[in-house]
Chains A and B, each alone.
Chain A
């Protein structure tokens, strides 16, 4: 099952963490699109803007995915990640074969009863409608594997 791995990828440790999680997913036969792992070589004849190149590459990954794993840690959900969650929600409305969004969340600033401001209600409502919020990678993997099995059984039927 192809999934899109959304998350803040601006620091070396964020990218390292996401890549390490992606490795675990691959061990479970889940195929994650990891934005920062893509080929960043620019062909000289490519006249697209940086934003357009980023959009084309990442939207391609989202559009090909049957599910999304979204790392929503941070003082708020990273804006790029939140935007990708919204796009996947819309794609799901017109394509029932897409399974859903698993949010991975263990930031104490946005945990219930934590010291921070909590998760944005609109984003949380969106996630709850089409997915689940997990607190460990194990839980997230378990949900993704369940969806993968569902998808495989749907294909054979």
Chain B
């Protein structure tokens, strides 16, 4: 089963968390589209050498398997520009096009809802997927995952989620307060 892993991917620690959980999903036979991983570049040997010369990575990293992720993180942190890597500029149109491809081809969505509100990009993706589900009964649903204690403390009130977003998730899936519960729901949907 393909899923789209939505969440606020603006900081290195959220990206790390999402990537780690994506790995757990893969171990359970679930195939997650992880937006920030989809932008990882193919790094040529020349580019790797240039980054070593500039002291942004070391020689071992340049030769290691983690190179695409490291280079991608450098672009997120503006340590090196996409232009310097010979990559096209990521416009909102391009980001939307790529993510929409992952979203529309997914069977389900796992949405990380943490933050003082649901991240607006994540909320938009939940809405798009709900709309797609109305046209395609083969799609399974949305799991809203809250790990933010401000939400966990309000588990009985939709985990403190915006009433409309809560309503949409209730309509097409579930809200849960732990990754284990999210995984259990996704596995249940994955069972033929």
Contacts and interface: CB of A to CB of B under 8 A. Distances in A.
B20 to A, nearest CB: 22
29 contacts: A50-B163, A51-B167, A54-B166, A55-B168, A56-B167, A59-B167, A77-B120, A78-B120, A79-B123, A79-B161, A79-B162, A81-B120, A82-B120, A82-B127, A83-B118, A83-B168, A85-B124, A88-B127, A88-B131, A89-B127, A90-B127, A93-B135, A120-B124, A121-B90, A121-B92, A121-B95, A124-B92, A125-B92, A128-B92
A132 interface: no
Nearest to A117: B10
Contacts of B134: 90
A92 B125 CA distance: 15
A82 B130 contact: no
Contacts of A126: 96, 100, 124, 128
A125 B122 CA distance: 13
A149 interface: no
A76 interface: yes
Interface residues of B, number: 39
Contact of A121 (B96, B164, B165): B96
Given A87-B131, A89-B131, A120-B119, A82 B124 contact: yes
Contact of B171 (A55, A78, A80, A128): A55
A61 to B, nearest CB: 11
B84 interface: no
B130 A90 contact: yes
Given A52-B167, A129-B96, A120 B120 contact: yes
A11 B31 CA distance: 41
Given A51-B158, A90-B134, A122-B99, A58 B164 contact: yes
B92 A83 contact: no
Given A51-B164, A52-B170, 16 more contacts: A51-B166, A51-B170, A54-B167, A78-B117, A80-B162, A80-B163, A82-B124, A83-B126, A83-B162, A84-B164, A85-B127, A86-B124, A93-B135, A119-B92, A122-B99, A124-B92
Contacts of B124: 77, 82-83, 85-86, 89, 120, 122-123, 126
Contacts of B97: 125
Nearest to A77: B120
Which residue, of A55, A87, A122, has the highest number of chain B Cβ atoms within 10 A? Answer: A122
A79 B164 CA distance: 9
B121 interface: yes
A119 to B, nearest CB: 8
B170 A83 contact: no
B135 to A, nearest CB: 5
Contacts of A82: 118, 120-121, 123-124, 127
A125 B119 CA distance: 15
Contacts of B118: 79, 82-83
Contacts of B162: 78-80, 83
A90 B126 CA distance: 11
Contacts of A79: 117-120, 122-123, 161-162, 165
Contacts of A124: 92, 96
